[in-house]
Structure 1
């Protein structure tokens, strides 16, 4: 799809955004609602594939049913010239995969905030009985306000469409594939939960749990291998947070969260101090050869006779014992080994106690980076010191959200757990980023407006006719070139040429020269004059015109009028006729000198010179304009003279109100 193509007479393609296995995505401009949109266009080589078309149409059907701030909205669906397309919300930002790569390690609180948004979107889809089936960071977009939005429902399926979940049918990306999908089994809502668990794993560790040389090897690991512990990669991760990963990625769907809301509720309290002592999650295993956690009273169900028999058969011969008669006459058995075991146990206990004390004494003391966003530099530094951190380099950065001289962020970021006295750098706002406007005169309006709008400007168009500036090109701009402004707070008006207007010529025959010149001035036409004797038309009146009456010409075109000299006499036959050729230079200095005020002026001198030529001969007087025209470059003109033999003619050339050439004695020789 080429840039500038308008789809369905509404969506003008601006540029390509990306390519996928099923479709290509473009940034486009909605010409009716005046907003940016994303257009997903089915790939050319797949337009004859019925299966792909069904998937593409299913995505449109699935997404149009879902309304959530965390799901990319579909605005329009259509087909043009065999091209299937979707028009969707344009999300300016990046996908979660790139976000993880750019920002890892991500503070745990931010990880939870991102996951809560994703889970909210999945909850909306599941409530409509729609399973995404291909949840992965590449299908989750993060905009500039850190709002997560799920996209690409290309292989989403309603629960009622059993024909799409048949055995041996595997859809989705292998790194995030649930075991039941890997086996080609029935896909349920818990299949999406598994993918969400893998995404949470990647947010916490920066990598996926299973890698392999082939897709098949990765698929095998999903239903054969246990998910690696995130705490092995980062021991600072709380056990409660790891448990969310483990429960979401349990091999059997029945061991996972029942729905996305349950997972969100568990995730929301994962950093709570109340869950600090939580034990590692281990799914219960059925009696099919896999390990199973037995209930506490399981042993009590063993038959007494069986237990006694087993004890009798396995008990070793009793050692010799001493007997002592109690005061009441009963015997008491003394065990000599008991004292040794007690002493050994006491020694082990003391050793363990010493180890624990040593670890406590020498273990590095930890702290968390505080949230200093929006605080003054002094307060931000004080907060860091109060958290037992060392203030490092103070950087300056532009920010549209944080006031000038206020803290924007720290590095490492807010919420990161660090050793005490770790150096933390600080970023202070210099206010919104300013943009220096260029001189756009002569540039294409379409590309200039798209560029300015992408930067955040509000762009208005004012269309005017121009004989010197081609259609679609900018004549003037409302904000002076070189001025530095904040794009989001600036509105700029661009005056754009629509080209020359057309004029249908009136009948100028029998008009006087002054009348003809007034008509030409009113319609922005240039006149050229020829003269001849006539006994039928009064002297000084138009005999004929070229082009003639009713002809359609452009503004700025030249119309030639043949003027009457009156009836020829004997004295009038003695005349000299000759031409004088002049080169009129275009003055760029005139446009430069007026450019400071040209932005809000209606003058067109910045693009052209107004030329007026005065002629004196038998037919003309220096008191009236012989010819008027607009030039944009050096121009050569030919001046025709008719003078009585022995007499001289004269001319004067005026450019933008200044005489630049004249000659008061022009003769044939």
Structure 2
């Protein structure tokens, strides 16, 4: 969609805002209500897909039913050339993902304020029977006043629409996916609460709890691994605030908050002093009927209890035998039946077989070790702790990291707390410190593009403007950091000197000024000034009669200024001759200038020559410059002379500080 296109006869496209899996989003202007809006336009490759169109319509219907200050409002819907579109309110700000990156660490109270607004929006959706199913920071917008709004109900479903439930398809972003969704189960209100807990985790730590090389590996961690402790990342986080994360992200939906209202209530008091000694939240044990793996410690404990009970039975039997002997003295009893004796032996054999099997299982069970928490530790410390758990150090990976010091551990794979067979390897990711970048030679390049490139890397850039007659405006003249140097972006500031182009000069009125004052003005502003002389009965001798260009005219630095100087009142007996001499000044490309212009600000380069013309006649002397110019090729200069009859004139041409032409015997007769 091109900028300027008018959609539906009303919405004028301004620019693209982003692309999604189902639609592209544009900033547009509502020409009827005179306001900016965002337009979600179904992708062209999906406009003929009936399932996608149905889902797009479902989003429009679901979102239009939601009225909340914390939900992006749907304003309109329509169709243009067979393509569906939605019109929504435009939120001028950023999404929560970018906000976290830019402002982390975020103060705890601000984290709570943002979460309370998110919870208010989700609460409004849940009350309408709508589950978002794809809650993530990218779908949460924050405007410039701090107002939070939730968007993208593209995969939200109404609880009553059972026909639309996709139990065999995992929808949503895998980093924020609930365990039941990862298994392909139906999403509930508790699924949204789990995603909210992950969002709160990211705001407190700056990263998501689970990473992996594939979406499947991340999904597996959501229903296998416990969410890491936020207090292990930052011990200053109150336990009550961590408990909100733990309860929201419990593996079993029944262990989570019953509603977002409950989560909001718990969150609102998380920083209260009365909860400073709150214990860590732990879900209640839940026997869900699944097959259990009994640990060797539990088996050993059961055997111990069994032996004790066996000893008690034996003691009772011994006492019984003593009593029998005593009674036998009094009365002789008949012998036991042989069949009973064989049965007793059989039971005994079974008992010993059972004990043997239990002991064999306990001894044959693999010995396990637990991955220790070594994030932030040195490699030596990590190896020692792994050895204590009878685990081996696996492959060492290196990553640049702004937060973790060089040589310290960023993470392990598997994560800490995971139980592994002894002698299993554990991968380690070490920080190589902040990322360094190599600076280039930016001289002559466009400043705006260079600044944008460096600032995107985290470099601070500033500039100083300087007028230049040789470098185009906006181009870099000089940089203070040498090219090829490797620097830490966030610790580096690069200063550029940038051309503002030719300096523009507004000419004053020089009428009545002396010749020396006119020359001084030309020198200060690097203007090439030429003089002509006339007799005048109105203007005092050696003062300016007129100028060209006139006063208030704007000229560039290095431009031409012609001044007419008064020769005073003409005497009757004065006889003068006037003539013009044309001189071609040769250009030299082999000389590098060591001189400066009359203003002393710019030196000539080897591709230009600075030329000063000195003349001698009735009105000029060789002590002052008649004309100054910059040439890049052989240039012809016309020199007008006025001399008393019978007198001579002369000229001298100085190029880049060296006299290259001279003639002191010019007369009117010879020219």
Q: Which residue in the other structure is 1:624 paired with?
A: 624
Report the TM-score when normalising by structure 2. 0.54
Per the TM alignment, residue 615 of structure 1 is displaced from its structure 2 partner at its CA by: 1.7
**Distance in 2 of aligned mates of 1:205 and 1:573:** 94
Aligned pairs for 1:160-559 within 5 A: 175-176=170-171, 189-190=189-190, 192-193=192-193, 207=215, 247-248=252-253, 258-259=258-259, 269=282, 279-280=287-288, 342=347, 346=351, 349-350=354-355, 352-353=357-358, 355-360=360-365, 363-375=366-378, 377-391=379-393, 398-410=400-412, 414-424=416-426, 429=431, 431-522=433-524, 524-529=525-530, 531=532, 533-534=534-535, 536=537, 541-559=543-561
**Distance in 2 of aligned mates of 1:646 and 1:663:** 21
The question of whether the paired residues in 2 share the 8 Å contact of 1:384 and 1:390 is answered with yes
Per-residue CA distance 1:243-263 (angstroms, 9 max, x = gap): 987733xxxxx8985136789
Per the TM alignment, residue 208 of structure 1 is displaced from its structure 2 partner at its CA by: 6.2
Q: Label 1:123 to 1:435 Cα distance change in 2 as closer, same or farther (>3 A).
A: same
The question of whether the paired residues in 1 share the 8 Å contact of 2:371 and 2:386 is answered with no
Q: 1:153 aligns with which of 131, 136, 151?
A: 151
**Distance in 1 of aligned mates of 2:517 and 2:249:** 90
The question of whether the paired residues in 2 share the 8 Å contact of 1:372 and 1:383 is answered with no
Q: Which residue in the other structure is 2:576 paired with?
A: 572
Per the TM alignment, residue 197 of structure 1 is displaced from its structure 2 partner at its CA by: 11
The question of whether the paired residues in 1 share the 8 Å contact of 2:612 and 2:628 is answered with yes
SS at 1:544 equivalent? strand
The question of whether the paired residues in 2 share the 8 Å contact of 1:503 and 1:555 is answered with yes
SS at 1:639 equivalent? strand
The question of whether the paired residues in 2 share the 8 Å contact of 1:615 and 1:622 is answered with yes
Aligned pairs for 1:49-198 within 5 A: 55=63, 61-62=69-70, 84-89=90-95, 91-92=97-98, 125-127=118-120, 129-131=123-125, 133-136=131-134, 152-155=150-153, 175-176=170-171, 189-190=189-190, 192-193=192-193
Aligned pair count reads 498
**Distance in 1 of aligned mates of 2:579 and 2:115:** 97
Q: Label 1:58 to 1:40 Cα distance change in 2 as closer, same or farther (>3 A).
A: farther
**Distance in 2 of aligned mates of 1:493 and 1:341:** 95
Per-residue CA distance 1:381-410 (angstroms, 9 max, x = gap): 433433333345666655433445545555
Per the TM alignment, residue 663 of structure 1 is displaced from its structure 2 partner at its CA by: 1.8
SS at 1:625 equivalent? coil
Q: Label 1:652 to 1:86 Cα distance change in 2 as closer, same or farther (>3 A).
A: same
Q: Which residue in the other structure is 2:322 paired with?
A: none
**Distance in 2 of aligned mates of 1:527 and 1:228:** 77
**Distance in 1 of aligned mates of 2:115 and 2:18:** 25
Per the TM alignment, residue 614 of structure 1 is displaced from its structure 2 partner at its CA by: 3.4
The question of whether the paired residues in 1 share the 8 Å contact of 2:96 and 2:138 is answered with no
**Distance in 1 of aligned mates of 2:259 and 2:463:** 51
SS at 1:550 equivalent? coil
Q: Label 1:266 to 1:535 Cα distance change in 2 as closer, same or farther (>3 A).
A: closer
Per the TM alignment, residue 516 of structure 1 is displaced from its structure 2 partner at its CA by: 1.5
Per the TM alignment, residue 582 of structure 1 is displaced from its structure 2 partner at its CA by: 3.8
**Distance in 2 of aligned mates of 1:165 and 1:429:** 46
The question of whether the paired residues in 2 share the 8 Å contact of 1:399 and 1:430 is answered with yes
Q: Label 1:474 to 1:549 Cα distance change in 2 as closer, same or farther (>3 A).
A: same
**Distance in 1 of aligned mates of 2:375 and 2:221:** 35
Q: Which residue in the other structure is 2:613 paired with?
A: 614
Deviation larger for 602-611 or 387-396: 602-611
Q: 1:663 aligns with which of 645, 658, 661?
A: 661
SS at 2:519 equivalent? helix
**Distance in 2 of aligned mates of 1:280 and 1:203:** 28
The question of whether the paired residues in 1 share the 8 Å contact of 2:70 and 2:120 is answered with no
The question of whether the paired residues in 1 share the 8 Å contact of 2:460 and 2:492 is answered with yes
Q: Which residue in the other structure is 1:99 paired with?
A: none
Q: Label 1:164 to 1:663 Cα distance change in 2 as closer, same or farther (>3 A).
A: same
**Distance in 1 of aligned mates of 2:16 and 2:602:** 34
Q: Label 1:20 to 1:176 Cα distance change in 2 as closer, same or farther (>3 A).
A: closer
Where structure 1 has 5 or more consecutive residues not aligned to the other structure, the ranges are 4-12, 27-38, 66-80, 96-116, 143-149, 212-226, 249-253, 283-326, 592-601
Per the TM alignment, residue 529 of structure 1 is displaced from its structure 2 partner at its CA by: 2.0
**Distance in 2 of aligned mates of 1:430 and 1:255:** 40
Per the TM alignment, residue 563 of structure 1 is displaced from its structure 2 partner at its CA by: 4.6
Deviation larger for 615-624 or 390-399: 390-399
Where structure 2 has 5 or more consecutive residues not aligned to the other structure, the ranges are 4-13, 28-35, 44-55, 74-86, 102-109, 141-147, 173-177, 200-207, 229-245, 268-277, 291-331
**Distance in 1 of aligned mates of 2:385 and 2:484:** 41
Q: Label 1:424 to 1:430 Cα distance change in 2 as closer, same or farther (>3 A).
A: same
Per the TM alignment, residue 371 of structure 1 is displaced from its structure 2 partner at its CA by: 0.4
